[in-house]
Amino acid sequence: MCIDLYNLKMQYKMETLWLVFLIIFVMSLSVESQLKSGFYSSSCPNAEDIVRSAVESYFKKDPTIAAGLIRLHFHDCFVQGCDGSLLITGSSAERNSLPNLGLRGFEVIDNAKSQVEATCPGIVSCADILALAARDAVDLSDGPSWSVPTGRRDGRISLSSQASNLPSPLDSITVQKQKFAAKGLDDHDLVTLVGAHTMGQTDCAFFRYRLYNFTTTGNSDPSINQAFLIQLPALYPQNGDGSKRVALDKDSQIKFDVSFFKNVRDGKGVLESDQRLWGDAATRSVVEKYAGNIRGLLGFRFDFEFPKAMIKMSSIEVKIGIQGEIRKVCSKFN
């Protein structure tokens, strides 16, 4: 009798544990199963074409908008997950935090949303439009295209105080790794996603300190290529305009390619955080892989890896199912 009771208890424990494991497993698959390519194929079949058309119309007038759209998606996903919280306006909203003040491209998303709403009201989330627009921006800039898993819903929280932990151009490689790891992204993802700096610009203020007061004695950053360093003071004088724009990729700032990695390899990275990728063994190996003509297969390797990293990033903490909402206007909650 005692043995039977013991066996029943053990069986009950095993069944309970199995049920717990099953629940955890199902929960882990929930995002993957509900974010899928062609999510709107029945409910709003023209959604992706409408977004593409909107992005293309702005891109034709100003190709630099592409970098802005990629950055919007990146900054959105790192705070509250990929839920469009960055798009909300308001004095205390995420959009008005210090790390987000230089962002651009909001008007492209708003335009795409208004067109989608006119065709399929209340169906397509702003978070999905942002993910699609980032993909289209890369494609239009001679980069790769990919099938974007959709089905995200828009968040109902947007607070500037939550944006303080966004990756910064001043971050050490250790801090960069920690911030990406906190979002489920590994070192390979880090280098691959930072590769989006092959396009776009930054303020001179985020670069100039590396020329004049990087150390306590006022010397320049020793990791800057010396031949490159000689050219820079004339372009970015110590007391010049800090808002002057600097290309993140000095060779091709409106084209999606691997020249960014070649610049980092050669000590010509603009942001300190970018150049630090070369000083760490793990991230350096990825930079070498992308920068090399043979190992990088003339850029094809980066074109293959970047979409995978973007899909992984665009799944961070997404709202799905009945979570969140589908906003009518991207800049305000319903």
Q: Is 76 annotated as a binding residue?
A: yes
Task: Please name the residues in contact with 226: beta carbons below 8 A apart, sequence gap of 6 or more.
Answer: 267
User: Among 1.10.520.10, 3.40.640.10, 1.10.10.10, 3.90.550.10, what is the CATH number of 47-163?
Assistant: 1.10.520.10
Q: How confident is the model at residue 9 (pLDDT cuts 50, 70, 90)?
A: low
CA dist 234 → 134, 204, 208, 228 (Å): 35, 13, 11, 12
Q: Is 197 annotated as a binding residue?
A: yes
Determine whether 188 is an active site residue: no
pLDDT digits (tens, 9 = 90+) for 253-294: 899 999 999 999 999 999 999 999 999 999 999 999 999 876
Task: Please name the residues in contact with 186: beta carbons below 8 A apart, sequence gap of 6 or more.
Answer: 180
How do strand 201-203 and strand 245-247 relate by DSSP bridges?
antiparallel
Domain-wise residue ranges, the chain: 47-163, 173-313
Q: Is 195 annotated as a binding residue?
A: no
What letter would DSSP give residue 220? Answer: P
Dihedral sign (CA 244, 63, 132, 307)? negative
Task: Indicate the CATH number for domain 173-313.
Answer: 1.10.420.10
Task: Please name the residues in contact with 122: beta carbons below 8 A apart, sequence gap of 6 or more.
Answer: 326, 328
pTM of the model: 0.87
Give the phi and the psi of residue 174 in degrees, each rounded to 5.
-65, -45
Catalytic residue from among 52, 73, 75, 95: 75
Mean pLDDT of the chain: 90
What confidence score (pLDDT) does residue 298 get? 60
Q: Which of 200-204, 211-215, 233-237 has the highest mean pLDDT?
A: 200-204
Total count of residues recorded for the chain: 334
Q: Is 128 annotated as a binding residue?
A: no
What confidence score (pLDDT) does residue 219 get? 87
